[in-house]
Each structure stands twice: as structure tokens, then as C-alpha cells.
Amino acid sequence: MKSKSSKKRSKKELKSSEAKVLDDKILYPITIEDITEEGEGIGHIDGMTVFVHNALPGDHLLTKLIKVKKRYAIGIIHQMLERSENRITAPCPYARQCGGCQLQEYDYAAQLAFKENHLIETLKRIGGIETYQYDGFIGMASPEHYRNKGIYQMALVKSSGAVGFYRKRSHDIVDVKQCMLQTQSTNDLIYLLRGWIERSGIAIYNEKTAEGILRRVMVRDTQKGDAMMVVFVVTKRDKTVDRLLAAVKAELPPTLKSVYLNYNADLGNTALSYDYEHVYGDPEIIDTIGTASFKISPQSFFQINRVQTERLYDVVVRYASDIFGEKQAIEVAQNFEQMQPAAKQPCDETIVNTVNTGAETCDAAAGDIENAKNIEDGDNGDNALEGLTVLDLYCGIGSIGIYLAKHNPRIARIIGVEVVSNAIEDARVNAAFNGLENTEYHVGKAEAVMPMLKERGITTDLVILDPPRKGCDEALLSTLVAMAVQNIIYVSCKPSTLARDLKYLTENGFIVQKVTGVDMFPWTGHVEAIILMTRSGSGEKK
């Protein structure tokens, strides 16, 4: 992995007169040193940074350049001279064509090491953040079939309907019979869907001519596979749509609980419109995260990987308790114990890291679990947040706040803020569905809502940030500073924007206390993290 100093040196070399102009007609030998978040290999030729499609760290190869810019070049693999020791045969037969995964040929343990290093180095390089308690990187014991949602594209390929995903860097469709990331129940449903489409005679939408009816299909599934939702995206409803729906109803799988139409005649790339018609079945399906249950509608934002979501939320619960000097919540240890293999059997390192005990063996980890179980009820994490107000910003359907409230029933109030009105409606429904009366939700930008809450005399003990990949608006960060917020838990889905935001906050009085990484999307370059921050002087450095 490239060091910070080597990256700086490369930039200097790039600007110097010594850097050569690369020729796209020449084959260049190159050793891949790193990869991007998008899974592109990174190497250097005569001081020029080169991104190579499908290349992995440790590969030594000949590359043909397909694009040469002033500061970088893009290449493809012409000939592999020496394979990386971490390169494997892709477990998915569509890996080289489909754009859904970037790291299919990268050993999973190596993926975790890359993501962990990428998180730590990005915090250092962009945020200037090096001093904190690092609590490990949480991987998956079985990193397949974890996606509870899929949007399948439709196309005509050689006069037959293709159902699958976009090819890398194009809008061509790869016909996917089985996706190793989608749940098996979703794969089984897509198999039935192919027959329904054929029998209905419905015209597949042609993106180039804007003709046809059926554009795509969205499938939602629960972790247990006991409730599924299908949304057919069509340009209009005609007799072929009715025949499609009749075919579905005639062969209705017992797990398919909800069917919708979504009307989208837009010529752009928007996957779904806001125009839904509930055709039959239940209006929502229900999924669970730990002890919290959630009603999921077609438009609901709900975490894709439910297994890892629970582990991530457990870290949020623990960090919330840690703010006030309390011991780790017992529930986290109990969840871990349920995942453990039998005593004295080999233990997956990624599972051990889940409780962040630092134990090197299962026996050692078991000892730490037993210590956690011996915490008396009066000292557990549930009591740590008694009488406190938690502000859940970018709250979506409210899942983090609801989960936290379910694990800490003495919280005085959870206040959620989100700009998407449909998400706030879902949050209110789900708070009531979980029997919570200590919640309130507001539609609007957080930086506008927070001052209004202050005018009502509401102060917050903890702010939870869960922004999209672009990170937080600077206006929000300045509001957090101006309102003298004391404690922040930041849930991030992109290390670079996380580091940028933490740099702003640390320059304005906050200290990064703890960091945990989570692999929410195995076989891709995405990296999630949970950060605990406190205002300088509000508590001792852990």
C-alpha cells in the first residue's frame, strides 16, 4: 500500500519537467501498488499516475493506455506478467462483464485489509487525523447473498429479453441468471419473472428508441426471505401489463407479499419515479434489525446488508454509552455469542473483530464475552443514556435512532431530521410500530432545523450524523460548531468525504475519540465507518 509520502512525491514528479509524455501506442510494464474505491488498479509510469482497469495490488503487467491526460492516464491489461498473490478466480461468472462488483478477483481477506488501510490512510492524508482509539474493521463471515434489494434492468438482446445489470461503464445489459450478492429467494423470483415476461408478451423498453413498456424491476427481500416486494417499472399500463400481473398472480410464490407498478416514461436515467400504484398484497413488507422492526415501502431507504447493519448499529449503541463512561452494552456481546462457532474450534478472524476485543483466539474472545455478561444490570449500557436527548440527522426512515431507543429505553427523546418527506413519514410510522413515544421527526435541512429546536429550549446530548456519500453540508458542520454540540457519532459511507468533514470539525474544537470500520458491501470498493467525537474539554480522551 502506498504511503502518504510516496503519494506526495508522485505529485511532485508529475509536475516536474522530468515526467515523460506517455504514448498510447506503446505497451508499458507496470506494477500495481494500490486500488481506488472504484476498484481501479493504481500504478506509476515515469512519475505519471496510471489507473488500470481490473488490476489488483501486486499485479505486474503490460498495460495499453486508452486515455492519456496531463496528470494521469487510464490503461487496460494487455498481458499479465505476474499475478498478485491475492488474485483469485472470481466466484461470479459475470464478474468481468457486470458493473455491480469491482473486487470479485480479490481475495476477501485482502479486500478487508485494503479497506481498513484505505480508511486509516484517508483519515490521515485528507483529515490529518492520526490519534484515536481504533476498534477494528468488521468483516462478514459469509460475504455472499447479503443484498435485500435489487434493481434489474431490462433489454432486448438478440430478440430475447435480458434481465440483469449494466455492463461496466456502459448501458448495455448483462443477462444475469444468478447474482451472488442478491438473496437466493430474489434469484429464484427473477427466474420466475423471466417466464412471466415471456407469457405476457409485454414489450421490453428500448432505451435508444424510447419504445416499449417494461423498463426494469425492483425486488425487495427480508433477511429471512419470508416476505418480498416486486415493483414493475413501466412507461404506461396496457393489456400486456395486465397480462403480466395476471401471470404473477397465477403463479404467486407464498413469499411474494406485495406488488406495485411504478410509472416512468422519463427519457433520462432515473430508475423509478414518484408515481406508484399498489396492485395487490400488503402495502409494506416487514424486516427486523435486532429487536427493532421496520415497515418497508417501495420508496423506503433501508440498509442493503441487514447482517452488517446490525453490527454497525451495535457499535453506535456502544459508542453512545461510551460517551458517558459506561461499560459496553451486554446486547452486543450476546449478539456476538450467537455467531460464535463451538468452543475451541477455529474462529474466523473477522468474527472476532466484531466485538473488537483484540483477542487473537476464540477462547480469548470467549473470556471477554463472559466478562461482559457478568456486568450487573445497573451498570449496562442501557442506563448510560437516561434522560438524554439524541438528535438523529440525515435520519432516513429513522432506523438508527429507533434502534438506539430500543436498546436504551430511558432516552428522554429522539429527534430525527431528514430532507425527504416520504422518509420522515416512514420514520413516524416505524417509531409507532416499535412502540416508541419518545420520538419526533422534522422535514428539512438539519442546519435550518437545529436553530429552531434551540429556540424551543431543546438541547442535545448526542448528535448522530448519517449523511450520503457526498458527506455533510458545510453549513451543517458550522451549525454544529456554533451551537456548541458536545458529542457526535458520525456514520460514514465514504472515507474521503468523512475525512474532509472531520478535518473541519477537529479544526473547530472537536476530538476524534474512536473509529470502527465496517464492510457493508463485500466484493465492492465501498467502505463504511463509525466515528465517535467529543468537543475538546467535554470529556477525557479515551
The answer to whether 319 and 327 are in contact (CB under 8 A) is no
- CA 45 to CA 346: how far, in whole Å? 44
Phi, psi of 87 (to 5 degrees): -80, 135
Catalytic residues: 493
The answer to whether 531 and 502 are in contact (CB under 8 A) is yes
Query: By C-alpha distance, which of 462, 528, 432, 417 is closest to 318?
Result: 462
Give Cβ neighbours of residue 71 (< 8 Å, ≥ 6 apart).
14, 48, 49
What angle, 0 to 180 degrees and rounded to 10, lies between the N-to-C axes of helices 184-200 and 239-250?
A: 130
- CA 471 to CA 223: how far, in whole Å? 28
Residue 466 assigned as binding residue? yes
If DSSP codes are grouped into helix, strand and coil, which group holds residue 203? coil
Our CA angle for 407, 408, 411, nearest 5°, is: 145
Residue 418 assigned as binding residue? yes
Cell numbers at residue 386, please?
A: 437516561
Look-up of cell digits 432545523? 449
Question: Which secondary-structure segment (H or E) carries 214?
Answer: strand 214-221
- CA 341 to CA 363: how far, in whole Å? 11
Instruction: Look at strands 487-492 and 439-443 and give their pairing.
Output: unpaired
Question: For every residue of 343-366, which 3-state class applies, written as one string?
Answer: CCCCCCHHHHHHHCCCCCCHHHHH
The answer to whether 389 and 412 are in contact (CB under 8 A) is yes
- CA 173 to CA 389: how far, in whole Å? 48
Q: How many CA atoms lie within 13 A of 310 on its CB side?
A: 19
Cell numbers at residue 46, please?
A: 515515469
- CA 6 to CA 2: how far, in whole Å? 6
The answer to whether 228 and 186 are in contact (CB under 8 A) is yes
- Residue list for the binding site for S-adenosyl-L-methionine: 303, 394, 418, 466
- Residue list for the binding site: 303, 394, 418, 466
